[in-house]
C-alpha cells in the first residue's frame, strides 16, 4: 500500500463518518444455508478451493534456527516443516517411509535427527534417509536415496511459509500474489515474530469463521463487552484485491484526522486493516502488531482455528503489554467464534433457506461469490 492509497482509504471513511453515512453495496444479497452444511459441497470446496490456492502454514520466526521443526496439518495433510542444517526450509509429509507411522509427535522443537517411534528408521533435518536397524538384511535392493521423506511444494514469502497448491488446476502462484504483494510488503510481516498463539476446534463451517471479521455491523451488539467502544457503529469499507479482500475498520479516533495535515495521516493509528487472504487466512493489522488467523476445515460443521499474535522483533514494550493484547484478541475472537457455532447449530432447523447479507455486509457477499466462482 503506498501513501496515496493509504490517504485515499482514510478519506473515504472520514467522509462517511462526517456525513454520518455507511459504506453500502447496491443491494442486499443472500447465501444458501446448504453451502454451510452440505457434505458434497464441502468436498468440492476441499478439492476446488482449498487445494487450488497457496496457503500460509507458519510464520518464519517459528522456524528460525537450523534444525528447527514444526508439525502442522494443512489441506488435510499431516505436515512436517523443517529448517535444514543448511538453512533451507522444506516441507514434508509427516509419514514414515517404512510402514507409515506418524514420524514426529511433538508440535515444535529443534533436532538433527528424526527417528520413527515404531522401528527406528531415521532421517536428517533435510529429510534425507539416514539409517534403519537391520536395513541391509531386511531390504536388500532398496536404494536409501529413494527413501527421503515425501516433499510438499512450499515457499517462503512475506515472512510466511506458504504451501503451494496441491492441485495443478489452481490459481497460479504469480496471479495469487500479484494482487496482494504490495499490501503484504507494506505490513512488513518478515520484521515480526510470534509472541503467542492459540489453537481451537470450533463446531462450525469454515466460512462462518471467515465471515465473522468482514463487517462492523455486529460490533455494537456482539462486542459490547470488549472492543465496541473503540470503533464506530457499523462503519467499515472493503475493496477486492483479486480473490482477496482488504477491509478497513476505522477506530472512534478517526475524526481526529480532520485536524491533521494529510501528509501525516497514518491508517494504522486510526483503523484496523483486515486482509482476507483467499480462501481462509486472515491478517488483522493493528497499530503496532498483527494477528494471523488460520482456519483448517475438517468437515462441513467442524473447523480448526489458530490465532497468532505477531509482534515487532524489537518492540520496546514489556511482555505483559503483549500478553494483554493477545488476551483481548482471543476474548474478542471467541465472541465471534461462539456466534459462528450458534449460527451453525440452527442451520439445519429449516428456519432459513438462506442467510441475509445487508448492504453494509457486502464483503460477505463478495467472499462467497469468490468461493462459488471456484466451483464447477
Ligand atoms: S513404521 Fe516407521 S520405522 Fe517402521
Ligand atoms: Fe467480530
Place of cell 484485491: 241
What mean pLDDT is predicted for residues 225-245? Answer: 94
Place of cell 455494537: 220
- Which bound ligand lies closest to the C-alpha atom of 284? 2
What mean pLDDT is predicted for residues 168-187? Answer: 89
Ligand 1 lined by 268 (C-beta under 6 Å) = no
Q: Whose CA is nearest to atom 3 of ligand 1?
A: 119
Q: Is the pLDDT of residue 167 over 90?
A: no
Q: Among 8, 136, 154, 128, which residue's Cα sits nearest to residue 70?
A: 154
Task: Give residue 229 CA to ligand 2 midpoint distance, Å.
Answer: 13
The separation between CA 55 and the C-alpha centre of its own chain, rounded to angstroms, equals: 8
Distances (CA, A) of 61 to 114, 154, 196: 21, 16, 12
The separation between CA 153 and the C-alpha centre of its own chain, rounded to angstroms, equals: 18
Q: Among 136, 29, 68, 81, which residue's Cα sits nearest to residue 361?
A: 29
Q: How sure is the predictor about 177, in pLDDT bands with cuts at 50, 70 and 90?
A: very high
Ligand 1 lined by 238 (C-beta under 6 Å) = no
Atom of ligand 1 nearest to the CA of 121: 3
Task: Give residue 154 CA to ligand 2 midpoint distance, Å.
Answer: 31
β pairing state of 129-131 and 154-157: unpaired
C-alpha cell at position 361 = 455486509
Percent of the chain, pLDDT > 70? 99
264 secondary structure, DSSP code: G
Q: Among 210, 75, 68, which residue's Cα sits nearest to residue 125?
A: 68
| Per-residue pLDDT, 33 | 98
Ligand 2 (ion): residues with CB under 5 Å are 336
Q: Whose CA is nearest to atom 1 of ligand 1?
A: 99
Task: Give residue 223 CA to ligand 2 midpoint distance, Å.
Answer: 7
Spatial distance between the Cα atoms of 310 and 285, rounded to a whole number of angstroms: 10
Task: Give residue 214 CA to ligand 2 midpoint distance, Å.
Answer: 8
Beta strands in the chain (DSSP E): 29-32, 55-59, 68-74, 77-83, 89-93, 108-110, 113-115, 122-124, 129-131, 154-157, 160-163, 192-202, 237-241, 244-250, 271-277, 281-285, 290-299, 302-312, 354-357
Which tens digits make up the pLDDT trace of 299-311?
A: 999 999 999 999 9
Q: Among 45, 71, 40, 41, which residue's Cα sits nearest to residue 58?
A: 71
**Backbone angles phi and psi of 42, in degrees to 5:** -65, -40
Task: Give residue 304 CA to ligand 1 midpoint distance, Å.
Answer: 28
Q: How sure is the predictor about 321, in pLDDT bands with cuts at 50, 70 and 90?
A: very high
Ligand 1 lined by 99 (C-beta under 6 Å) = yes
Q: Is the pLDDT of residue 195 over 80?
A: yes
| Per-residue pLDDT, 117 | 98
Which tens digits make up the pLDDT trace of 29-41?
A: 999 999 999 999 9
| Per-residue pLDDT, 172 | 79
Which tens digits make up the pLDDT trace of 261-287?
A: 999 999 999 999 999 999 999 999 999
**Following CA atoms 179, 337, 364, 343 in sequence, which dihedral angle do they give, to the nearest 10 degrees?**
150
Give the chain's radius of gyration (CA, Å): 23
Atom of ligand 1 nearest to the CA of 97: 2
Tell me the pLDDT of the chain averaged across its residues. 96
Spatial distance between the Cα atoms of 201 and 151, rounded to a whole number of angstroms: 27
Q: Which residues pair with 169 in a beta bridge?
A: none
Q: How sure is the predictor about 235, in pLDDT bands with cuts at 50, 70 and 90?
A: very high
- Tell me the domains of the chain and their CATH numbers: 3-54+172-374 (3.90.380.10), 58-156 (2.102.10.10)
Q: Is the pLDDT of residue 170 over 70?
A: no
**Following CA atoms 253, 254, 255, 261 in sequence, which dihedral angle do they give, to the nearest 10 degrees?**
120
Ligand 1 lined by 98 (C-beta under 6 Å) = yes
Spatial distance between the Cα atoms of 87 and 64, rounded to a whole number of angstroms: 9
| Per-residue pLDDT, 15 | 96
Entry pTM? 0.95
Spatial distance between the Cα atoms of 34 and 73, rounded to a whole number of angstroms: 26
Which tens digits make up the pLDDT trace of 197-230?
A: 999 999 999 999 999 999 999 999 999 999 999 9
Percent of the chain, pLDDT > 90? 95
What mean pLDDT is predicted for residues 367-376? Answer: 95
Amino acid at each position: 500500500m503506498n501513501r496515496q492509497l493509504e490517504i485515499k482509504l482514510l478519506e473515504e471513511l472520514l467522509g462517511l463518518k462526517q456525513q454520518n453515512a455507511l459504506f453500502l453495496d447496491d443491494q442486499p444479497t443472500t447465501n444458501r444455508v446448504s453451502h454451510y452444511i452440505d457434505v458434497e459441497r464441502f468436498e468440492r470446496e476441499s478439492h476446488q478451493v482449498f487445494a487450488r490456492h497457496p496457503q500460509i502454514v507458519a510464520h518464519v520466526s517459528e522456524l528460525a534456527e537450523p534444525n528447527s521443526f514444526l508439525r502442522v496439518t494443512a489441506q488435510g495433510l499431516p505436515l512436517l516443516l523443517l529448517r535444514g542444517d543448511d538453512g533451507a526450509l522444506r516441507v514434508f509429509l509427516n509419514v514414515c517411509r517404512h510402514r507409515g507411522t506418524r514420524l514426529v509427535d511433538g508440535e515444535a522443537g529443534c533436532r538433527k535427527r528424526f527417528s520413527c517411534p515404531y522401528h527406528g528408521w531415521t532421517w536428517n533435518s533435510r529429510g534425507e534417509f539416514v539409517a534403519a536397524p537391520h536395513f541391509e538384511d531386511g531390504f536388500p535392493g532398496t536404494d536409501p536415496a529413494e527413501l527421503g521423506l515425501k516433499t510438499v511444494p512450499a515457499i517462503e514469502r512475506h515472512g510466511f511459509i506458504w504451501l503451494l497448491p496441491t492441485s495443478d488446476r489452481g490459481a497460479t502462484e504469480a496471479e495469487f500474489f500479484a494482487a496482494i504483494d504490495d499490501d503484504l510488503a507494506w505490513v512488513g510481516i518478515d520484521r515480526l515474530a510470534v509472541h503467542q498463539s492459540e489453537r481451537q476446534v470450533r463446531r462450525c463451517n469454515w466460512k462462518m469463521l471467515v465471515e465473522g471479521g468482514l463487517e462492523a455491523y455486529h460490533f455494537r451488539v456482539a462486542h459490547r463487552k470488549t472492543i465496541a467502544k473503540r470503533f464506530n457503529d457499523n462503519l467499515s469499507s472493503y475493496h477486492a484485491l483479486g480473490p482477496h479482500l482488504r477491509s478497513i475498520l476505522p477506530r472512534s479516533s478517526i475524526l481526529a484526522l480532520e485536524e491533521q495535515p494529510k501528509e501525516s495521516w497514518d491508517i494504522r493509528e486510526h483503523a484496523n486493516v483486515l486482509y482476507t487472504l483467499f480462501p481462509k487466512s486472515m491478517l488483522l493489522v493493528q497499530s503496532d502488531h498483527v494477528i494471523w488467523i488460520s482456519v483448517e476445515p475438517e468437515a462441513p460443521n467442524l473447523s480448526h482455528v489458530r490465532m497468532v499474535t505477531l509482534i515487532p522483533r524489537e518492540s520496546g514494550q514489556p511482555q505483559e503489554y503483549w500478553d494483554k493484547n493477545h488476551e483481548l484478541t482471543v476474548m474478542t475472537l471467541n465472541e465471534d467464534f461462539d456466534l459462528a457455532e450458534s449460527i451453525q447449530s440452527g442451520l439445519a432447523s429449516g428456519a432459513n433457506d438462506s442467510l441475509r447479507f445487508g448492504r453494509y455486509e457486502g464483503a460477505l457477499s463478495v467472499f462467497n461469490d469468490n468461493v462459488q466462482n471456484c466451483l464447477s
